[in-house]
Copies of this chain bind each other. A is one copy, B any other.
Amino acid sequence: MVATDIPAGTADNNRAETTVTSFRIIEALKSREYAGVTELAEELDLAKGTVHKHLNTLRELDYVIKEDHEYRLSLSFLGLGTAVRSRLPVYQEARQPLEKLTAATGEVASLMIPEHGYGIYVLRTYEGDHPDVNVNEGERLPLHATAGGKAILSYTPADERERILDVRGLPRLTENTITDRDALIDELRLVRDRRTSYDRAEYRENWHCIAQPITNEENRAIAAVTVSGPAERMEQKDSATDLASLVGSTVNSLQNRFYADY
């Protein structure tokens, strides 16, 4: 629910540098299946002895696995991640409505949560054997280039929204990405009028997405519900079934469940 807890940076003398190094190694391991000490030391410009010491420590803590002289992250991170996710009230309620949305549309339905100035899909439902799901639950997405992100930004107070755009920028991801801040603000105003946002190949080529925000008592977005799929198929479906109203029904049902707890 925190779009804007973006720390300004810490003075170096109040930073646990060893922890920073450990997480640099963890993030390097995230992007590969296995890695050896030499490879990590070269990539991160660290001494081999330092990398070895960190890997040993993380292994002792059960966060890293050693197999045939190579290292990988362990599933302990999955346990941390699902513990965080399971405490989000909106997540608890979202599974069944999202499964219904997938059944109604035949496409990937997702729940996006704002955090740290990014959008994160915490739940994705889909059907079939080889779904077109290229973004894992938990991955961070840019708010300005995604339908869920634009739905969230349009229901975020202006000062917070400005801070997010200052810090995260508007990087170009496809030729359709909105990279001009005034153009984005105009678009967000439109989104607020119709409560529905679209990503027309702004994040990924040939990929469309439609979203609506879930808002709280202060009319602030705490999440967004999205449906996404291949551009052509999404356009056909939208003219056949009005995807916006299907997403809208899901949002209404979730909003009712969520606020029924209060």
Contact = CB atoms under 8 A, between A and B. Distances in A.
Given A82-B139, A96-B129, A136-B79, A56 B14 contact: yes
A67 B19 contact: no
Interface stretch (A20-28, A144-152, A172-180, A232-240): A20-28
A78 B75 contact: no
Contacts of A87: 33, 72
Nearest to A81: B78
A238 to B, nearest CB: 27
Contact of A86 (B76, B96, B136): B136
Contacts of A116: 62, 65, 74, 76
A258 interface: no
A211 interface: no
Q: How large is the interface on A (under 10, 10 to 19, 20 to 34, 35 or more residues)?
A: 35 or more
A78 B120 contact: yes
A23 to B, nearest CB: 5
B2 A57 contact: no
Interface string A231-253: 00000000000000000000000
A53 interface: yes
Contact of A57 (B1, B20, B96): B20
Interface of A: 1-2, 5, 7, 9-10, 14-23, 26, 30-31, 33, 53-54, 56-63, 65-67, 72-87, 96, 113, 115-116, 120, 122, 128-129, 136-140
